[in-house]
Amino acid sequence: MNVMHYKDYTARIEYDDEDEIFFGKIADISDGVGFHADTVADLKVAFHEAVDDYIETCTKIGKQPQKPYSGKMMFRVKPEIHRRAALAAERAGKSLNQWAEEALDKAAG
């Protein structure tokens, strides 16, 4: 996946061959913020402007801008699943966190 980063925000980038443009969308927030450009350099500028405009607009309307996900997850699983996951992580030579992150990444596609 092609991504760009700016001010703690990440954008997913794609290319539209028919229109011959790059386009992106800020990831990890539910507010739909998109942008596009003809070149990579212009796309980077458009992304920065989109983030800055999003933050400015939220401030103007009194809304807290959404923040990207922190990366911290807490959830409960059955003890048997916890045991099997811990053993699988140990067999792989990884911490349970490392193993779970890879498993979640693979499952989330």
For the chain, give the number of residues: 109
Q: What is the pLDDT of residue 38?
A: 94
Radius of gyration of the chain (CA): 19
**Would you give the DSSP letter of residue 64?**
P
The pLDDT tens digits of the residues spanning 51-104 come to: 999 999 999 999 999 887 777 788 899 999 999 999 999 999 988 989 999 999
Residues 6+ apart with CB under 8 A from 100: 85, 89
Question: What is the domain partition of the chain in residue ranges?
Answer: 2-61, 79-108
Question: Hey, what are 51's tokens?
Answer: 């983030």
Phi, psi of 6 (to 5 degrees): -160, 130
